[in-house]
Amino acid sequence: MPDFSILITHGVFHLFAALITLCSLMVVVSKHPVKSAVFLVVDLFLLAGLYASLDSHFVAAIQVLVYAGAILVLFLFVIMLLNLQPEELKGLKFSAVEAGTLVISLIGFLITIVTAFKGDQTGLGDGSLDPAAIETAGGNTYVVAMKLLTNYIWPFELASILILMAIVAAIVIAKKDQKKPAAQ
């Protein structure tokens, strides 16, 4: 029943795509920051579903674990910490130039990218790792791990330096005022 499965795959994709677009829209236009954050969580979860449907299991898990489970928690914490109130949206200035630029850039993006990839896909990679090949090679997680720790070893080590710098920077910036009362 191949037709049936294609129908379901497409249906699931379009459902997810519609929900993701809707959630993204709500993230951008919600008045209350907490509302935006919750919609963003749902959005990220749905995107993880799309990654899973693209056989990128590890990325899907990381998406939920790090993005939805950690980064957005930080956003929520800060929103609650600062006790942000609903924002007046009346100041959304849609000057014709800005809105027009946005729409035109959107259309430009679509046309550029879709035409760029419309043709044959050769020359973009060895194409050796379709899902079946990944399965025989030891699963998606394993293949990603090997790729990361052999081909991408320098970016991997640099990522640790990036994280180190982020730790230092965040603490320096956020803890700055805490020292003042002690000095006085």
Pick out residues in 70-89 that bind another protein (CB under 8 A).
Answer: 70-71, 73-84, 87
Site for another protein in 130-149 (CB under 8 A): 130-134, 139-149
CB of 175 to another protein, least distance (A): 6
- Say which amino acid occupies 59: V
Q: For residues 23 and 17, what is the distance between their CA atoms, to the nearest angstrom?
A: 10
Of the pair 96, 113, the CB lying nearest another protein is at 113
Q: Is the dihedral of CA 99, 104, 105, 107 positive or negative?
A: positive
Kindly determine how many residues on this chain lie close enough to bind another protein according to the rule CB under 8 A: 122
Backbone angles phi, psi at 88, to 5 degrees: -75, 125
Strands (E), the chain: none
Of 134, 131, 159, 158, the residue nearest 146 (C-alpha): 134
Of the pair 150, 184, the CB lying nearest another protein is at 150
Site for another protein in 142-181 (CB under 8 A): 142-153, 155-157, 159-171, 173-178
Binding mask 91-110 for another protein (x = CB under 8 A): xxxx---x---x--xx--xx
Of the pair 161, 183, the CB lying nearest another protein is at 161
Among 100, 119, 128, 183, binds another protein (CB under 8 A): 128
Q: For residues 59 and 95, what is the distance between their CA atoms, to the nearest angstrom?
A: 39
Cβ atoms of 20 and 40 within 8 Å: the answer is no
Site for another protein in 14-53 (CB under 8 A): 17, 20-21, 24-25, 27-28, 33-34, 36-38, 40-41, 43-45, 47, 49-53
Among 3, 97, 118, 184, binds another protein (CB under 8 A): 118
CB of 183 to another protein, least distance (A): 15
Q: For residues 90 and 98, what is the distance between their CA atoms, to the nearest angstrom?
A: 16
Q: In angstroms, what CA-CA distances link 32 with 43, 83, 93?
A: 16, 11, 18
